[in-house]
């Protein structure tokens, strides 16, 4: 438990200081976030935010890694799973950084990868999924709260595909959510908090869950929770810096990897419930638009947080209400997890 607390506290402090440094660094160099205008059907009501420093996700990733690293001073062994996961997170963050940098240089909110990014992230997700299953003892099952709860075993190629889809979908969902000040960071903080609890719970009950190195993944989740907390100090409305794709892709992949390594694949749908709602609203909007021959839209704008803004809700109201919904989803997920544990113990 001490290692978990160290990871969270160190990451929060490094993120708090590191994000402040990035604000000054990017502001002095004019590296601000471009906003899509009316010609691109973008959120014109956010044009006042144009020029706000971006790529603050660098501080989140660095702070989380430092927090995780320092926690290992207390005799916690480095695990193969966590090291592979960090390679996956670093790869996603690098893709996000390149995209952010090109957006800033071109002064347009679409980087060089805006069309190809889905294919690149999917291919990389499959690669990390294959690495996890071939180099560690990860269970090749579809799971809700533990490996043997559903009893759905997959052949290795199908499990790799399943894992790749989970990572790809989660990174995209978090990226879509990152449209209001603090919304993605705040909801991710709750999700990582849930995985911290799950990781430590599984570590304390190894006979029931049979997860490889759950404490290390719990420490990683705590480090990301702390990093998001420190970042939110500067990212809360009105934001002084945005996380950018470098942060959104790193956070999304980290959440997905926590679910994969802790055998809580389907529980991720609840833990990231607000991200599912946001991504789902985009899919529904596109489906209605195409089905109507490009004449009708269900929402005033997607993702759905923009719909509520255009309906008259102040941005801070949307953010706080979505945070509350995220908290409800996370609470339900933990309820399902603990409820399953209770049922096992009582049998």
Sketch the domain layout of the chain as residue ranges: 78-222+233-346
The predicted-structure confidence for 14-32, as pLDDT tens digits, reads as follows 999 999 999 998 877 766 6
pLDDT range class, residue 117, cuts 50, 70, 90: confident
Q: What is the pLDDT of residue 33?
A: 59
pLDDT range class, residue 335, cuts 50, 70, 90: very high
Percent share of the chain, pLDDT over 90: 61
Percent share of the chain, pLDDT over 70: 90
Arithmetic mean of pLDDT, 139-167: 92
Q: What is the pLDDT of residue 192?
A: 98
Q: In whole angstroms, give the CA distance from residue 195 to residue 192.
A: 5
Q: In whole angstroms, give the CA distance from residue 301 to residue 332.
A: 29
| Six token digits for residue 289 | 């638009």
Q: Tokens 């996961």 sit at which residue?
A: 85
Arithmetic mean of pLDDT, 132-154: 89
E strands within the chain?
141-142, 152-153
Q: What is the pLDDT of residue 44?
A: 52
- Is 218 in contact with 203 (CB distance < 8 Å)? yes
**In sequence order, what are the beta bridge partners of 164?**
none
**Closest Cα to residue 245, out of 107, 129, 104, 125?**
104
Q: What is the pLDDT of residue 325?
A: 97
Decide if pLDDT at 114 tops 80: no
The predicted-structure confidence for 69-85, as pLDDT tens digits, reads as follows 999 987 688 889 999 99
Q: What is the pLDDT of residue 68?
A: 95
Torsion angles phi and psi, residue 142, rounded to 5? -95, 120
Arithmetic mean of pLDDT, 153-162: 95
The predicted-structure confidence for 248-296, as pLDDT tens digits, reads as follows 999 999 999 999 999 999 999 999 999 999 999 999 988 888 888 778 8
Arithmetic mean of pLDDT, 184-188: 96
Average pLDDT, the chain: 88
Looking at mean pLDDT, say which of 76-80, 113-117, 213-217 comes out highest: 213-217
Enter the DSSP assignment of 73.
T
Contacts of 194 (CB under 8 A, 6+ apart): 271, 330, 333, 334
Q: What is the pLDDT of residue 41?
A: 47
Q: What is the pLDDT of residue 281?
A: 92
Decide if pLDDT at 332 tops 90: yes
Question: What is the CA angle 302-165-92, rounded to 5?
Answer: 80
Decide if pLDDT at 39 tops 50: no
To the question of pTM greater than 0.85 for the whole model, the response is yes
Q: What is the pLDDT of residue 235?
A: 93
More confident residue, 100 or 39: 100
Q: In whole angstroms, give the CA distance from residue 235 to residue 183.
A: 9
Q: What is the pLDDT of residue 43?
A: 53
Q: What is the pLDDT of residue 35?
A: 52
**Closest Cα to residue 207, out of 78, 82, 345?**
345
Question: For the chain, give me the number of helices (H) and strands (E)?
Answer: 13, 2
The predicted-structure confidence for 226-242, as pLDDT tens digits, reads as follows 999 999 999 998 888 99
Q: Tokens 């990871």 sit at which residue?
A: 7
């Amino acid at each position: 438990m001490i290692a978990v607390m160290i990871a969270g506290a160190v990451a929060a402090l490094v993120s708090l200081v590191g994000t402040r440094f990035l604000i000054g660094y990017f502001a002095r160099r004019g590296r601000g976030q471009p906003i899509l205008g009316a010609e691109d059907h973008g959120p014109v009501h956010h044009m006042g935010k144009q020029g706000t420093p971006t790529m603050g996700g660098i501080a989140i990733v660095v702070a989380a890694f430092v927090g995780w690293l320092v926690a290992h001073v207390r005799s916690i062994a480095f695990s193969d799973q966590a090291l592979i996961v960090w390679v996956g997170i670093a790869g996603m963050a690098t893709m996000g950084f390149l995209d952010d940098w090109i957006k800033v240089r071109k002064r347009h909110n679409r980087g060089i990868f805006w069309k190809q990014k889905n294919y690149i992230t999917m291919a990389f997700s499959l690669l990390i999924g294959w690495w996890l299953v071939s180099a560690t003892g990860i269970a090749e099952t579809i799971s809700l709260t533990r490996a043997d709860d559903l009893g759905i075993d997959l052949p290795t190629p199908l499990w790799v595909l399943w894992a790749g889809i989970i990572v790809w979908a989660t990174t995209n969902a978090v990226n879509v959510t990152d449209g209001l000040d603090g919304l993605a960071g705040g909801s991710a903080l709750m999700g990582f908090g849930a995985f911290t609890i799950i990781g430590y719970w599984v570590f304390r009950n190894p006979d029931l869950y049979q997860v490889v190195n759950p404490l290390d993944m719990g420490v990683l989740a705590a480090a990301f929770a702390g990093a998001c907390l420190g970042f939110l100090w500067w990212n809360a409305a009105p934001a002084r810096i945005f996380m950018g794709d470098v942060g959104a892709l790193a956070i999304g992949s980290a959440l997905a990897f926590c679910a994969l390594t802790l055998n809580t694949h389907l529980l991720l749908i609840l833990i990231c419930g607000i991200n599912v709602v946001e991504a789902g609203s985009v899919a529904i909007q596109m489906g209605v638009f195409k089905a109507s021959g490009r004449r009708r839209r269900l929402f005033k704008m997607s993702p759905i947080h923009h719909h509520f803004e255009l309906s008259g809700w102040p941005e801070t109201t949307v953010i706080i209400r979505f945070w509350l919904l995220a908290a409800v989803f996370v609470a339900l997920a933990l309820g399902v997890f603990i409820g399953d544990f209770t049922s096992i113990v009582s049998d």
